[in-house]
Structure 1
Amino acid sequence: MLKRTMYFLMASTVLSFSQLAPVHADDTAKATQGINDTMKPYEANYVITRGDSEYGEGYRYLEVSPDNEWQLRTKSDISWFILSDTREARSVFIVDDENNRLEPREFIYMRTGTGSDKSFHGEFRADDKKVRNVDTGRMLDINWENALFDEANVIEQLRIDVSGGAEQFKYRVVNEKGEEDEYRFRVMAESQILSLPYGEVEAIKVGRVRDNNRRQTFFWFAPELNYVMVKMQQFKEGDEQATMSLRSLDM
């Protein structure tokens, strides 16, 4: 259970098949923000709970260098009885203004704790449309024709697209195993009031779309906080697995 819970948390503290752009339910546009309005540095800290029990914490830290190269660092740290699980990721990317999307350059993932440690280090070669496994030196079998994201920065792309008024999303992503995967999402509620450790926040609810409903994952993005992810929650077969809620935010 802990392993599955941590996978979900890392996919968000760190989480596509995107064609040229996300699929819009209504292309007549509810666009509210451009990519440069949404992409601002921030540091968000979260508390991880299950039911009434607190058993971990996480953070997302987004910064930009003077030459406009962005870096996202994420971490989740859980302790549950004698079990422990710490996952960290670093994503380096640039902002493609013309196509309104993020373009990855490097992705590093590390998992330590109970059980086997795991890691992956990928280098994204945009000119060649290739992804190299830095540890092995081999190119990955990845179809990079249009947009491609890593498992950490895809949540940043999602909040950009939510801020632009889209309602359905499909992304191609390179995951923490160095494999190609597809993530689909849709807006489920345009306004919900959340009571978080941070305080009361109005947010947009987005759900992960899967082929079956055994697992359900939900994300909330707050327009008043520049669409930063303020909450994430996962259920398995109707039972809550974990909830990550915003505790503090510096922007």
Structure 2
Amino acid sequence: MKRIASWLVSSVLVTSMTMSSAGADDHQNAAQSMKQTMKPYEANYVITRGDSEYGEGYRYLEASPDSEWQLRTKSDISWFILSDTREARSVFIVDEENNRLEPREFIYTRTGTGSDKSFHGEFKADEKKVRNLDTDRMLEVNWDGALFDEANVTEQLRVDLAGGVETFEYRVVNEKGEEDEYRFEVQAKESLSLPYGEVEAIKVARIRDNNRRQTFFWFAPELNYVMVKMQQFKEGDEQATMSLKSLSM
């Protein structure tokens, strides 16, 4: 159960994006894609494995006071006597000059069968430091350039995808309070049949050093590049699939 559910909060990621050029046109296109993509939405998902439904999830993106944004995510799984609930909240600002999202606060909690876990981080952009508010200690992170948290990095992926980027590298602080790096690449365009309906989506794969685990994401340009599907495999077997059920923007 832990393996099945742990990927759901990764909503996945340092922008060391590889782009074909870094000229003025690229910067202008990136800025335009950010303004178009960064709009509030509420997405609800159903979580399945094979033909069985055993959970639900959501992603809420909203504008907060003081030019801040807030993203809330949740996955809630119940399977026989097992349960797993994971929630994350990310507070960040939109840095239009550098076309990236800059975190301010990240909260993660996991409850259910097994050990409960949590992390509360504060991002000090001026000092390029991250404080673990649970322990009141600074994390050992390399904040050189862009840094994201485990939740808002998927929003950065949306923005970059809308800007035409096809390969991605992100440095993140994950739900354990550790620095990590995520790599992605665009694979294909596909037609999907979801509980929400029929949509055209771009398939993005997580790139790992080995293929024991595979994670795929689908983003729909017609729905402002909102994530409409996520799927996890381990050693070729499906672990879980999260599919869009409803969306309001």
Q: Deviations over 1:52-90 (max 9, x none)?
A: 000000000000024320000000000011000000000
What amino acid is aligned across from residue 27 of structure 1 in structure 2? S
Hey, what's the Cα distance between the residues in 1 that align with 2:15 and 2:191? 30
RMSD across aligned positions (CA): 1.4
What amino acid is aligned across from residue 234 of structure 2 in structure 1? K
Give yes or no for contact 2:14–2:145 (8 Å, CA) kept in 1.
no
Gaps of at least 5 residues in structure 1 are none
CA drift of 1:246 comes to: 0.1
Which residue in 1 is equivalent to 2:18? 23
Hey, what's the Cα distance between the residues in 1 that align with 2:65 and 2:110? 30
Which of the numbers 204, 214, 217 marks the counterpart of 1:216? 214
Deviates more, 1:101-110 or 1:59-68: 59-68
Which residue in 1 is equivalent to 2:195? 197
Hey, what's the Cα distance between the residues in 2 that align with 1:232 and 1:88? 17
Three-state SS of the structure 2 residue aligned to 1:91 is strand
Which residue in 1 is equivalent to 2:234? 236
Which residue in 1 is equivalent to 2:224? 226
Q: Does 1:69 align with 2:68?
A: yes
Q: Report sequence identity in percent.
A: 78
Which residue in 1 is equivalent to 2:166? 167
Which residue in 2 is equivalent to 1:5? 4
TM-score for the superposition, normalised by structure 2: 0.95
Name the count of aligned residue pairs: 244
Which of the numbers 190, 204, 207 marks the counterpart of 1:206? 204
Hey, what's the Cα distance between the residues in 2 that align with 1:121 and 1:81? 31
What amino acid is aligned across from residue 204 of structure 1 in structure 2? I
CA drift of 1:5 comes to: 1.2
Hey, what's the Cα distance between the residues in 1 that align with 2:51 and 2:178? 35
Q: Deviations over 1:100-147 (max 9, x none)?
A: 000000000000000110000000000000000001110000110110
Q: Displaced runs of 4+ in structure 1, greater than 3 A?
A: 26-29
Q: How does 1:53-202 map to 2 (within 5 A)?
A: 53-189=52-188, 191-202=189-200
TM-score for the superposition, normalised by structure 1: 0.94
